[in-house]
Amino acid sequence: MKYSIIVVLLVGLSCQQEKTVLEPKTQVSNADKVLHEMATTYLFPLPENAMDEAHPYRAALVNLGKELYYEKVISKDKSVSCNTCHPLESYGVNDTPLSKGVGGHLGDRNSPTTYNAALHLAQFWDGRAKDVEAQVEGPLLNPKEMAMSSKAEVVHRLQQMPKYLALFAQAYPHEKTIKYPQIAQAIGAFERTLMTPSRLDEYLEGHLDVLSEKEKQGLKKMLDFGCIPCHSGAAMGGALYQKFGLFDNYQRFTKSNKHDVGKLAITQEESDRDVFKVPSLRNITKTAPYFHDGSVKKLEDAVRIMGNVQLGRALTEQDVEDIIAFLAVSADWTKKTDGTK
């Protein structure tokens, strides 16, 4: 629900230019048709995967990436895997403000879900990695996460395991040895398959009867209040950056323990102070705690805070209830995702 008038107008116009509005497939009222048309100006159904021309689908690479995602051997004390901080069995999050890495060290920010993350314009809260492949390389060598001593050590450990010699040979048949960049390529390929189609996608595709009246009220309020233009696209977010605290200091409401300056730490540009990537709202009812530092435990509190600091608006109890009802729709999956075709 991060919002500024200028950004919203620009994003809205861009979406209208790029997106063909899907026609309703059921007999509905004119009001429902108008709501659907407004929604599909900003929100798109999920694709089957996030593969593109530079990252084509290869089953052997995805299968290798899936094995590596769960592999703890590539952490210093063999206790941490990607799935430790981003457990796929619980919507890609581990329900703690900050994740624990090797030796119990806490990370600096809340670990976001890996589901649908490959659709984002960049990775990490500050966007410092251009894609999921680039993101993978960070935790492996981060002393607070998997804490491996070097790229060579990561490769060496995998080379000692016959299973991985076979899997890498299948994924890279023309390579004689395992190479470090291949690890990130493989895990990234797997993450590009982690899509979570839901009732929301059925609605966006034109099946207007799948939403209840309460859920439609929540959607309408998110559009009317200005939440959706920032939480837009197929992922309902991850498509742009925004200052956290447009109308008020967010720390007054989140009670955060420390002040995180956001993208400023990366760019050294004062205009990036308190700027973060807009998070995805897909599965948000299942991915507590909230915000970059995991400082807020309950979604209803997070929604109220967003109203205050991003919209300059005090949301009523009914507003919050309706909005959460709509947000829950994206967590009502219509297909189990396991990362393989």
| Listed residue (43, 26, 32) closest to 222, CA to CA | 43
Q: Do 11 and 102 share a domain, yes or no?
A: no
Last residue of a domain, one of 191, 217, 252: 191
pLDDT of residue 27: 73
Structural domain range at position 152: 59-191
* Catalytic-residue membership of 89: no
pLDDT of residue 338: 63
Q: Do 210 and 321 share a domain, yes or no?
A: yes
Q: Do 182 and 220 share a domain, yes or no?
A: no
pLDDT of residue 335: 85
Structural domain contains residue 131: yes
CATH number at residue 238: 1.10.760.10
Alpha-carbon gap, residue 202 to 43, rounded angstroms:
12
pLDDT of residue 28: 82
Q: Do 30 and 76 share a domain, yes or no?
A: no
Catalytic residue among 145, 191, 202, 215: 145
| Listed residue (254, 242, 304) closest to 278, CA to CA | 242
Alpha-carbon gap, residue 220 to 218, rounded angstroms:
5
Q: Do 63 and 184 share a domain, yes or no?
A: yes
User: What is residue 55's three-state secondary structure?
Assistant: strand
| Residues forming beta bridges with residue 198, ordered by sequence position | 333
Structural domain contains residue 151: yes
CA distances from 132 to 7, 12, 136, 299, 315 (A): 25, 26, 6, 27, 35
DSSP 231: S
Structural domain contains residue 244: yes
Burial (CB < 10 A; 0-12, 13-18, 19+), residue 96, is middle
Last residue of a domain, one of 173, 191, 209: 191
What global pTM score does this model have? 0.91
Structural domain contains residue 338: no
Q: Do 154 and 214 share a domain, yes or no?
A: no
Structural domain contains residue 307: yes
Structural domain contains residue 53: no
pLDDT of residue 336: 73
User: What is residue 20's three-state secondary structure?
Assistant: coil
pLDDT of residue 22: 63
The number of folded domains in the chain is 2
Give the pair of three-digit tokens for residue 271: 């205009």
- Provide the residue-wise pLDDT of the chain in tens; the chain has 341 residues: 443 433 443 344 344 344 455 666 667 899 999 999 999 999 999 999 999 999 999 999 999 999 999 999 999 999 999 999 999 999 999 999 999 999 999 999 999 999 999 999 999 999 999 999 999 999 999 999 999 999 999 999 999 999 999 999 999 999 999 999 999 999 999 999 999 999 999 999 999 999 999 999 999 999 999 999 999 999 999 999 999 999 999 999 999 999 999 999 999 999 999 999 999 999 999 999 999 999 999 999 999 999 999 999 999 999 999 999 999 999 999 987 765 44
